[in-house]
Amino acid sequence: MTSPFTVEVLVSDTDRLRAAEQDVRRGLAERPRSIPPVWFYDETGSLLFDRITRLPEYYLTRCERAILEARSEEIAAASGADTLVEIGSGTSEKTLLLLDAMADRGSLRHIVLLDISEEILRKAAAELQARYRVEVHAVVGDLRRDLVRLPRPGRQLWAFLGSTIGNFEPASRAELLAQFRRAMGPGDTFLLGTDLRKATDRLLAAYDDAEGVTARFNLNVLEVLDATLGADFDPGRFEHRAVWNPDGGWIEMRLRSKEDQQVKVAALDMVIHLARGEEILTEISTKFQPDAVPAELGRAGLGVRGAWSDDDGDFLLTLAAP
Ligand SMILES: C[S@@+](CC[C@H](N)C(=O)[O-])C[C@H]1O[C@@H](n2cnc3c(N)ncnc32)[C@H](O)[C@@H]1O
């Protein structure tokens, strides 16, 4: 008998439109102008991100995978979990290492995935269901809002990988970690992937690769806004930039206007004037000091049970519990 495979959509087209309207109205009116990174991830954006994870410059995925290869058994044992809840799951490719370890212990019963990108989520969920033959519940939702709406079978290991936490500024990061804590039960555990501080040239290369895949990923956000809001952004009139912000301790991805231009956003009845050289912030990627991670988790009510780095100390995985 095959186990159930369900997809639940918590973000309707109307929700998506309202959220885009709000984000664009607020973000593009402010200075510096900004667009939240959630708008990168239509199907094209998710496929481009998947390509980024394979680039020679993008060390993050390789390092996190190396830690999971070495430590998944230990993590699975320490968690005692029978359910894996992955947030911002994307392709769930590295997650196979954790799931294999749970399956080898005979403890894997359920998988819950949450991502905003429906196509990639459906594909990942179908692949996991075929591989593990356990109940897979895929949720199309916004992690900033929907953690408490997830199903809660069994004892859960929550995985938030890929340093996605680094895309949040300190105040919203603290709020998000507190939301994780509130959504978790007493026996649950939380596995957090964080990228660590390192030489600026390596960081810049990771966000501005030679092949230009990251540039295409960044520019794709304009196409998403065109499709969602009837805007007329022309990606050819913008260029990708990656900049280290030493005060924040993060890389900023920006889109720079190559010329003076006007962009119309039909759904908002809005015209945006951009001067040549003006920039729109599309993503921050925080690079953590190792001791900042337990401190931030602690403030959210999560105590560290274990922490592991790769051989070069580039990336950190931390297991925590309420
Ligand atoms: C940096 S990627 C990491 C993907 C994967 N976890 C990994 O480690 O390679 C961020 C993932 O989070 C998803 N995502 C981004 N913002 C989101 C949001 N607000 N709600 C739900 N998912 C989101 C994206 O679709 C993408 O799959």
pLDDT tens sequence across 17-68: 999 999 999 999 889 999 999 999 999 999 999 999 999 999 999 999 999 9
Share of the chain above pLDDT 90, in %: 97
Q: What is the pLDDT of residue 135?
A: 95
Q: What is the pLDDT of residue 2?
A: 57
- Name the residue of 51, 115, 176 whose CB sits within 8 Å of the most ligand 1 atoms, as the mutation to test its pocket: 115
pLDDT tens sequence across 94-121: 999 999 999 999 999 999 999 999 999 9
- pLDDT band, residue 284 (cuts 50/70/90): very high
pLDDT at 1 over 80: no
Share of the chain above pLDDT 70, in %: 99
Looking from the CA of residue 50, the nearest atom of ligand 1 is: 9
Q: What is the pLDDT of residue 3?
A: 62
Q: What is the pLDDT of residue 33?
A: 97
Distance CA(20)–CA(42), nearest Å, equals 13
- pLDDT band, residue 4 (cuts 50/70/90): confident
**End-to-end Cα separation, the chain, in angstroms:** 36
pTM above 0.75, yes or no: yes
Distance CA(175)–CA(172), nearest Å, equals 5
Q: Which domains does the chain have, with CATH numbers?
A: 10-40+200-286 (no CATH), 55-198+288-321 (3.40.50.150)
Q: What is the pLDDT of residue 24?
A: 94
Q: What is the mean pLDDT of the chain?
A: 96
Place of tokens 């859960």: 156
Place of tokens 């340093």: 163
- In 3D space, the residue among 42, 188, 44, 187 whose CA is nearest the CA of residue 115 turns out to be 42
pLDDT tens sequence across 136-155: 999 999 999 999 999 988 99
Looking from the CA of residue 163, the nearest atom of ligand 1 is: 1
Distance CA(220)–CA(52), nearest Å, equals 13
Question: How far does residue 185's CA lie from ligand 1's centre (Å)?
Answer: 23
What is the DSSP code (8-state) at residue 291? Answer: T
pLDDT at 5 over 90: no
Looking from the CA of residue 115, the nearest atom of ligand 1 is: 22
Query: Which residue, by CA, sits nearest to atom 19 of ligand 1?
Result: 142
Question: How far does residue 88's CA lie from ligand 1's centre (Å)?
Answer: 4
Question: How far does residue 260's CA lie from ligand 1's centre (Å)?
Answer: 33
Query: Which residue, by CA, sits nearest to atom 8 of ligand 1?
Result: 162
Please, is 271 exposed, middle or buried when counting C-beta atoms within 10 Å of its C-beta (0-12, 13-18, 19+)?
Answer: exposed
